[in-house]
Structure 1
Amino acid sequence: MRMTAAVMYEQGLPAPFAQSRPFRIEEVELEGPGEGEVLVEIRGAGLCHSDLSVVEGLRKRPLPIVGGHEGAGIVREVGRGVTECQPGDHVAMAAVAGCGKCRTCVSGRPGLCQAVSGARNEGLLATGARRLRLLDGGRLNHYSGISVYAQYAVVVPQALVKLPKDVPFDVGALFGCAVVTGAGAVFNSAKVRQGASVAVIGLGGVGLTAVMAAREAGASKIIGIDVLPGKFDLARAVGATDCVDARDPHVVQQVLDLTDGGVDFAFEVSGNLSALEMAQKITVRGGEVVGVGLGKATATFTVAHLPWVAEEKVLRGSMMGGGVPQDDIPRYADLYLRGRLPVDRLRSDHIGFDQLNEGFDLLHGGGVVRQILLPHGA
């Protein structure tokens, strides 16, 4: 079939993106689903900082490629052998899709599956197929095995999680990345306990979801930290007990004073190395620093060896929430429907394809949380 999609031909183009146009909106060809694959009509797709980092060239992808890795839609067709879903199902689409057979998948960590991540890095589906192509027949790659900046996508069923039909698509899209990543970091990776103190550095979609999850987990102190104080009202509305401006030269001391020596858990969500250094400084002895944000692929950071050992601090990575989306997303959707995880508060605006590049300018400037692309219009 022919469909409209956002295609990236070059990474690292300069801002403003409304002028450099990293995404070109054009018609492309999409083959129907093969064995073990599913065709989904995309009804909502989020603009995420991970996508922005790819636009900026911080993490390389095979080009040309149809962008987007956070979405929701309706199953329209299933390939031979697919039993996990059926036409008409409403689904969230998550980039965490393991093979189900390797060591990490069997241990309940599909986000670390090497077999599937290898295929994704080559622009393929987990089946090894490529269903996208340019109108001239040229090769066109899949982004994270999903490519939701399009009207339709062919994916593997492991990337789909059924959603209750009373979850709107523009909210359901958030569950595929922002929600599963932020809430999972709190519930799965850190296992935040009742009464714990928490700091979240970076109050975008993932960070604000972590704030919500920390409140749900019963944290007694939840400190939101960001360079943009304009985000603090929303952070407080969804669970933050305190907010601190990351640009304040006394930010570390402020957190230490608020928590009697440091937080039990510091979540670094921005992918910024200076923020990661701050996270180590504001964590109490015996506490945990949880790295959630992804930065430049070649970036490295240092750890002071003696304090790390003597103070028994834990440095932990959390990839896409460190869990199993098929188990976690239904739980998070239930919390949303019961008003306990108000992820609809993350929505900043709805946009069309013609606003996509400008949308990344707004994301780059930090003035929005989650813009939702509606590939078929309002």
Structure 2
Amino acid sequence: MKAHVLRTGGDDLALEEIGIAAPGEGEVLVRVAACGVCHTDLHVIKDEVAFPKPCVLGHEISGWVEETGPGVDGLSAGDRVACSFVMPCGACRHCRRGNEDLCEEFFAKNRLKGQLYDGTTRLSDAEGAPVAMYSMAGLAEYAVVPATAVFRVPESIPLEKAAILGCSVFTSYGAVHNVGQVRPGDTVAVVAVGGIGLNIVQMAAAHGAERIVAVDISDEKLELARRMGATDTVNSLNEDPDEAVRALTDGHGVDVAFEAFGSAPTVRTAVDLVDDGGRVVLVGIAPAGVEAQINIAHVVRRKIQILGSYGARASQDMPAVLDLVAEGRIALDDLLTDTYAFADADRAYKDLAARRIRGRAVVTMGAPS
């Protein structure tokens, strides 16, 4: 099959012919319809996050079931599906407790070694050498995915849009519902409204947040955030976000502040914006080694909670995400701002690095379906 291969960090993605093995026990072979373009992949491309190479990136896909391996129930060839980037093993101590977003096998084998749960990859290059898989390695014509991460998509959701459900929308659901615990009437700030931040805005609105303040340096993204449900916007290039948010909240700050970029300055901003007793939810992935200085006395005295949120729980949360989209409470049209042909995947990530993508982008394999 054809796949976009990253040979070395800092290099371009190269379209190559590579081998793909049949799905093993508990696995599904998916013919890819679309793959989301995510900043986490970009960290690997830029060598800001360690990952084995050569590799195939792309960790949120939609498509059709081509074949199922032994032991897979409930999925059949031809099913329209979307796949979550967290591919839980279902057996480790965290999975058994319902904390699939902490799956030890996923982090130990996939995120550190680019393998699936038998300790091998399903991909090989022309010489037969292994090619690492970042999640399901979706920047390819086909992907082998553990069945724990594969979910049927209703006919009402177009597949080229459904790709972004498995990371962008999935991650925002985990941040808003599970970690931020946003409730009707809450006030919320979202610092950095790119692909994930825009979804957090929309997800907070779906959870009944009364005031949602979007903070960014791009007026274009802030306007898009308003369409996603933001009640207020702050361009932090032009005004102090702490002063602006407190002016909007009677001087108090917000109940929950989300950080969706992954940098020391934006983390500090999120901590500044939260009210006494509030929650700061860190969602953005930072390059390895990035640290943020926090005013310890302020956090302790004000009883502020600083919480990490990584993805969500596949078995519980992907069905909930699909329901929200099917019910129209989460819209994908405004969120999906850029579409690239399969051959142009490398350009998509260059555009992402240059901040030319306003919301979320996808790489598609062919005609919309």
Distance 1:26 1:99 in 2: 30
Task: Report if the CA contact (8 A) 2:56-2:137 is conserved.
Answer: yes
Does residue 1:281 correspond to 2:272, yes or no? Answer: yes
Greater Cα shift, 200-209 or 283-292: 200-209
RMSD of equivalent CA atoms: 1.4
Aligned-pair CA distance for 1:233? 1.8
Task: Report if the CA contact (8 A) 1:198-1:265 is conserved.
Answer: yes
**Matched AA of 1:297:** A
Give the corresponding residue for 1:347: 336
Give the corresponding residue for 1:17: none
Task: Report if the CA contact (8 A) 2:192-2:214 is conserved.
Answer: yes
Aligned-pair CA distance for 1:246? 2.1
Does residue 1:223 correspond to 2:213, yes or no? Answer: yes
**Matched AA of 1:6:** H
Does residue 1:32 correspond to 2:22, yes or no? Answer: yes
Aligned-pair CA distance for 1:259? 1.3
Give the corresponding residue for 2:349: 360
Distance 1:245 1:235 in 2: 12
**Matched AA of 1:354:** A
Query: Deviations along 1:271-304, whole A, 9 cap, x unmatched?
Result: 1110000111111111111000000121222222
Count of aligned residue pairs for this structure pair: 365
Q: TM-score scaled to structure 2, two decimals?
A: 0.95
Aligned-pair CA distance for 1:93? 1.2
Give the corresponding residue for 1:292: 283
Q: Give the percent of matched residue pairs that are identical in Structure 1 and Structure 2.
A: 35
Aligned-pair CA distance for 1:326? 2.6
Distance 1:127 1:155 in 2: 13
Aligned ranges 1:166-315 → 2 under 5 Å: 166-260=156-250, 261-315=252-306
Distance 1:341 1:142 in 2: 30
Give the corresponding residue for 2:8: 10
Distance 1:259 1:136 in 2: 61
Q: Secondary structure at the match of 1:360?
A: helix
Which of 76, 85, 102 matches 1:86? 76
Distance 2:143 2:58 in 1: 11
Aligned-pair CA distance for 1:103? 2.1
Q: Secondary structure at the match of 1:320?
A: coil
Aligned-pair CA distance for 1:84? 4.1
Which of 154, 160, 177 matches 1:164? 154
Distance 2:119 2:150 in 1: 17
Does residue 1:318 correspond to 2:309, yes or no? Answer: yes
Distance 1:220 1:376 in 2: 40
Task: Report if the CA contact (8 A) 2:88-2:314 is conserved.
Answer: no
Distance 1:99 1:359 in 2: 31
**Matched AA of 2:356:** G
Aligned-pair CA distance for 1:363? 1.1
**Matched AA of 2:6:** M
Q: List structure 1 segments (4+ residues) > 4 angstroms apart after TM superposition.
A: none
**Matched AA of 1:291:** L
**Matched AA of 1:113:** C
Give the corresponding residue for 1:136: 127
Query: Deviations along 1:254-281, whole A, 9 cap, x unmatched?
Result: 1111112211100000111100001111
Query: Deviations along 1:307-338, whole A, 9 cap, x unmatched?
Result: 211110000000113xx223222222222222
Distance 2:168 2:114 in 1: 22
Task: Report if the CA contact (8 A) 1:36-1:127 is conserved.
Answer: no
| Unaligned segments of structure 2, at least 5 residues | none
Which of 85, 88, 99 matches 1:109? 99
Aligned-pair CA distance for 1:195? 0.7
Task: Report if the CA contact (8 A) 1:29-1:135 is conserved.
Answer: yes
Aligned-pair CA distance for 1:351? 1.2
Q: TM-score scaled to structure 1, two decimals?
A: 0.93
Distance 1:6 1:307 in 2: 47
